[in-house]
Amino acid sequence: MPFTKDNPAIYYQKTGSGTAIIFIAPPAMGHLTFRYQTLLEDSFTVITFDNRGDCSSEHTDTKLTFSQFVDDVKRVLDENGISQAIVCGYSNGGLIAQQFALSYPEHTLALILIGGYHAPKSIILRTEYKIGIAIARKEWIPLLAKGLAFNHFSDKTEAKEIELEIKKTNADMLAQQYQLGLNYDNEDHLSHIDVPLLIIYGATDHYVHPYQNIFRKKLKDVEVAYVHRSKHQVPTKYFHECNAIIYEWTKRKQLK
């Protein structure tokens, strides 16, 4: 199993060749969130990984910072000898992706947000984060694992596989990860992101759609694509459409 050398060891998977895309998952979900994005391997180097404390990655007993999650993305890229990558974050993973683009602009080729927002400001989003914190603090990881697996995968075998991975997640680190996401807001810094941005929304994922207005206002090069009938679970429930949008956009932007 491939892990980064420095502690905590981060579990990752790499497949394909060509321009690199690194995918960043929401809390607890890990690399299997993007099992269908590995289908892009014929056109890209596809890298998926587990955030520290999640699934198969190691956990620590120290207080976490948001920058540690960002630096872990860089560690995974360094481990694979990749100097520049398209950085794609799903849901809360999109916050890490944005901060990576701000912290490591020289290593960011482009930015993709799936179900993206710059800060969890809406009541619905903030409630979801608070529920996640409560579940983690009560150490109800098996319940969370079953719920996330059921919501994201229709195939029972694939759902069971990610459920078992999520069950490995460290409860204390998960609570901290949710809390860091809840407190994150980079609206004042968005204008410093100087790479193309693609936002992919589920067409019925209405409560995150308004966030695009801030991105359009702050960034120079923003495109938004909607996946018909999809809710939030675009990478798993509508992966053909998601992958096609990514492929077409990167080709048009001459990123591949």
Report d(CA 89, CA 243) in Å as an integer. 14
Please indicate, yes or no, if residue 126 is contained in any of the structural domains.
no
Query: How far apart, in Å, do the first and last CA atoms of the chain sit?
Result: 28
CATH number for position 74: 3.40.50.1820
What pLDDT score was predicted for residue 102? 98
Backbone angles phi, psi at 89, to 5 degrees: -120, 140
Please indicate, yes or no, if residue 140 is contained in any of the structural domains.
no
Distance of CA 148 to the CA centre of its chain: 14
What pLDDT score was predicted for residue 62? 87
pLDDT confidence bin for 256, thresholds 50/70/90: confident
Please indicate, yes or no, if residue 149 is contained in any of the structural domains.
no
Report d(CA 40, CA 15) in Å as an integer. 9
pTM over 0.95: yes
pLDDT in tens, 160-169: 999 999 999 9
Please indicate, yes or no, if residue 146 is contained in any of the structural domains.
no
Please indicate, yes or no, if residue 75 is contained in any of the structural domains.
yes
Q: What mean pLDDT comes out for the span 91-118? A: 98
Report d(CA 180, CA 168) in Å as an integer. 20
The H or E element that residue 187 is part of is none
Please indicate, yes or no, if residue 225 is contained in any of the structural domains.
yes
Please indicate, yes or no, if residue 98 is contained in any of the structural domains.
yes
Report d(CA 100, CA 108) in Å as an integer. 8
pLDDT in tens, 131-173: 999 999 999 999 999 999 999 999 999 999 999 999 999 999 9
The boundaries of the domain holding residue 101 are 12-119+186-252
Examine residue 8 and say whether the peptide bond preceding it is cis (omega within 30 degrees of 0): yes
Q: How many domains does the chain have?
A: 1
Q: What is the CB neighbour count within 10 angstroms for residue 103?
A: 15
Please indicate, yes or no, if residue 167 is contained in any of the structural domains.
no
Report the mean per-residue pLDDT for the chain. Answer: 97
